[in-house]
Amino acid sequence: MGMTRHRLLLAEVVERLRRSEMECGVILFGSVQRSEERPDSDLDLCLVVRNRCDLRDFDPTVLHREKGMTLFESRLEGVVVHFACWPTEALEKAVSEEPFTYYPLARGQIVCDPHGLATRFQRRLQEYFREHPAVASAWEEQLAAFRQYKAGTASSLQYAEWGDFAAHIGELIEEAEQD
């Protein structure tokens, strides 16, 4: 199978990040990571950065800020690229408080990590989900349902709101702790 335009763009983005002065690890997730991208798919990246996230070379727009993470969006070669930028201190705090939230990072593909920043968090999260298989299964079910919904093969989601899904995860964790 040849390189899709998304994979070619990913290689270009990673190379530009490597050449930058920013110390970061890059985790790919979403449809491109699963090799399920469509022509209209976006490119989803998590950047774990030592200090601050400097993406000015990508002409980004800030979409959202939460818990120290900044979500940026850029349009490169006609593809929307999302950069979820996590300074290590903020990600450390977030993972310590709510590790169940970060399943996509646990199963994402590390595409660049010269300083081991992304690897450290991914291993920690993978261990958490190994110890909480019911939570991992719930995530897999939710992600599969979301893909079906997005593809138009499902008319609704059981947990359409993050709060509802988080409450379900909380119940699973409580059940596991009682066993």
pLDDT band at 85 (very low <50, low <70, confident <90, very high): very high
Same domain for 144 and 58? no
User: DSSP E strands: which ranges in 19-178?
Assistant: 24-29, 43-49, 61-66, 69-76, 79-87, 109-112
Please check the confidence at residue 60 and state whether its pLDDT lies above 50.
yes
Round the average pLDDT of the chain to a whole number and report it: 92
Q: Tell me the mean pLDDT in the region 139-156.
A: 87
Q: Tell me the mean pLDDT in the region 134-150.
A: 90
Q: What is the pLDDT of residues 22-49, one digit of tens each?
A: 999 999 999 999 998 988 999 999 999 9
Same domain for 82 and 165? no
Structure tokens, 50: 């030592």
The pairing of beta strand 24-29 with beta strand 61-66: unpaired
Structure tokens, 130: 């190994």
Out of 59-63, 96-100, 153-157, pick the least confident: 153-157
Percent of the chain with pLDDT over 90: 70
CATH number for the domain harbouring residue 68: 3.30.460.10
H-run or E-run covering 137? helix 133-151
Same domain for 78 and 164? no
Kindly report the pTM of this predicted structure: 0.90
Same domain for 57 and 141? no
Same domain for 149 and 112? no
Q: Could you list the residue range(s) of the whole structural domain that residue 152 is in? A: 133-178
Same domain for 88 and 11? yes
Structure tokens, 83: 């950069």
Please check the confidence at residue 2 and state whether its pLDDT lies above 80.
no
Please check the confidence at residue 1 and state whether its pLDDT lies above 70.
no
Q: What is the pLDDT of residues 92-134, one digit of tens each?
A: 999 999 999 999 999 999 999 999 999 999 999 999 999 999 9
Cα distances from 164 to residues 17, 77, 93, 142, 161, in angstroms, run: 36, 36, 23, 11, 5
**Number of domain units in the chain:** 2
Same domain for 59 and 144? no
Same domain for 174 and 125? no
Same domain for 38 and 112? yes
Q: How far apart are CA 93 and CA 85, in angstroms?
A: 14
H-run or E-run covering 126? helix 117-131
pLDDT band at 139 (very low <50, low <70, confident <90, very high): very high
